[in-house]
Each structure stands twice: as C-alpha cells, then as structure tokens.
Amino acid sequence: MSDTGTYLYAVARDEVAACPPGVADADVRTIVRGGLVAYVSSVPMERFGEEPLRRSLEDMDWLAGTARAHHRVVDAVAAATATAPVRLVTVYDGDEQVSDLLERRAGDFAEVLAQVTGRREWGVKAFVDPASEERPDERSGRDGCEQAGKPGKPGTAYLQRRRANLRGREQNRRQALARAEHIHAALATVAVASRRHRPQDPRLSGRADWMLLNGAYLVDEGRVAEFAGLAEELGGGGIEVTVTGPWAPYSFTVMETR
C-alpha cells in the first residue's frame, strides 16, 4: 500500500471553476471519465488508514474538522452543479481506482444525478417548547387540587395531581408526535423526496426543547418559496419550525452498494 490514498468527495457531471481545499488542507483535483467528474484529494495513509482512522474518529476535533472540510468541498461543487456527495471518509488506493469506479458505476451515478438535478435538499426541524408543553399539566394539577380541596388530605391531593400530570404529559406527547407526522406529511407533498433523520439529542442540538422532527426534503428549485412558506405556516401553537439549507443532496443520494 502506498503512502497516500485518494479521498473521494463527490461525483458530478461538470467541473466547477474553483474548489476550496479539502481534508487535511489538501488541494482538490478532479478525475474525469465517461462524462463524470470525481472530486478528490490525496490524503496521507498514516492519518487515513484503517487503524489511525479508528482512533481519529474518537477525536471530536478531528471529526469536526474533517466533516467541515468534506462539506466545504461538496458544498462548493453542489452550489454550481448537480452533485452526488459521497459518504464521509471514502478513501481509494489511488486515482486509477476512482477512474475505474466512474466507469463501472456510470449508470448508477447518472441515475442519482438525474434525481437531484434542479433540486436542493432542505432541512426542517420542529421543536416543542417545554414551557408550553408544561402549561396544561400545571392547569390540570391545580384543578385536581381544588376538587380534592380538603385540607388534611394533602397526600391524596398530591397523588391526584401527580396522576393528572402524568396523563397530561402523555397526552401532550401524543399530540406533539401527531403534529410532527402532520408537518412531515405536508412538507412531503411539496418535496420530490423526503426522509426523516433521527431527532437530535438535546445535548447536541443545544436546545432544551424537544425535537419532534428532523426531516430532509428534496425540493425543486422552483418550489423553494412555496416550501419555505409552508414550513413557516406549519409552526405555531407551541411548535417552532426551523428550516436549514440549501444543502447538497446528502440525504438523497443512496446508491446500492455493490
């Protein structure tokens, strides 16, 4: 095995004019074959070999830096032309293997690129504000207290209040989930394709409120305003909807592994 490998970022039909540096600050170059363009850079195998990589992946700074560098390249290409992003850290022995790949999988890449042409990925997240979620609980708690309202039976009142709280919380949860289903279904009618990512852990999202929906939507460029408008309308009533994008079509470039 040689000292360097060929890191593959994305495949497109066109060469873009300028590309930012890639992972490990390396220059990005292209490999052209059969009407397809692969965006690659050379990476040192002492960092990107299997064993070093296994260790590196446990290093958050390394993962963050690599993810951002990968994204910078993919994003620059995707901003200019229809692009099939490749999974983070895909490393080949050399350029020849990438060239072979373009030829061998030309049909699959063509299919993926056709699916994303003239379309961009948008992310939509829905959050329920814990404060608005708690309010009904407190209300039912107070009611329970008044009904039980006899001094001297604080234990009974407490239990009733607690039961009402739990019931209320469960009900809120069900309602919020139903709302998320509705939001996703409505957005999917405007999108060409849609996909739900796992809701982010509050420790990662940096928000205390509960993420109900973490969706990705492939939207025709001509329908972006309609999509954004709909996303905005679907919020409200204690549910906050945020939109991110446009993204390179990361969530919609699934190719069968072969």
Partner 1 sequence: MTDWPARGVSADEIILSDRLPAERVSLVDLLDRLLAGGVVLSGDIILSIADIDLVCISLRTVLASADTLEDA
Site for partner 1 in 169-228 (CB under 8 A): 197-198, 200-201, 203-207, 214, 216, 224-225, 228
Q: Rounded to an integer, what distance in angstroms lies between the CA atom of residue 152 and that of residue 156?
A: 9
Using the minimum distance from each CB to partner 1, give the nearer residue, 148 or 228: 228
- Restricting to residues 74-93, which ones interact with partner 1 according to CB under 8 A? 75, 79, 84-93
Using the minimum distance from each CB to partner 1, give the nearer residue, 71 or 161: 71
In sequence order, which residues have a C-beta less than 8 Å from that of residue 250 and are 6 or more positions away? 74, 85, 121, 216
Using the minimum distance from each CB to partner 1, give the nearer residue, 58 or 146: 58
Question: Which residue of 32, 67, 166, 185 would you call a contact of partner 1, by CB under 8 A?
Answer: 67
CB of 29 to partner 1, least distance (A): 18
CB of 145 to partner 1, least distance (A): 37
DSSP annotation string for 170-204: HHHHHHHHHHHHHHHHHHHHHSSEEEEPPPPPHHH
Using the minimum distance from each CB to partner 1, give the nearer residue, 109 or 164: 109
- For the chain, the straight-line distance linking the first and the last C-alpha, in angstroms and rounded, comes to 23
CB of 54 to partner 1, least distance (A): 6
Stretch (H or E) spanning 78: helix 60-80
- Restricting to residues 106-135, which ones interact with partner 1 according to CB under 8 A? 109, 112, 121, 123, 125
How far from 152 is each of 122, 139, 156, CA to CA, in Å? 58, 22, 9
Question: Which residue of 37, 101, 191, 213 would you call a contact of partner 1, by CB under 8 A?
Answer: 101
Q: Rounded to an integer, what distance in angstroms lies between the CA atom of residue 137 and that of residue 158?
A: 13
At residue 43, the 3 state secondary structure works out as: strand
Using the minimum distance from each CB to partner 1, give the nearer residue, 79 or 186: 79
Question: Which residue of 13, 148, 165, 245 would you call a contact of partner 1, by CB under 8 A?
Answer: 245
With vertex at residue 138, the alpha carbon angle to CA 137 and CA 139, rounded to the nearest 5 degrees, is 90
Single-letter amino acid, residue 123: G
# of chain residues touching partner 1 (CB under 8 A): 75
**Given the rule CB under 8 A, which of 94-102, 129-137, 143-151, 158-166 is the region that contacts partner 1?**
94-102
**Which residues are registered as beta bridge partners of 10?**
39, 85
- Restricting to residues 3-22, which ones interact with partner 1 according to CB under 8 A? 5, 8, 11
Q: Which residue has the tokens 């604080």?
A: 154
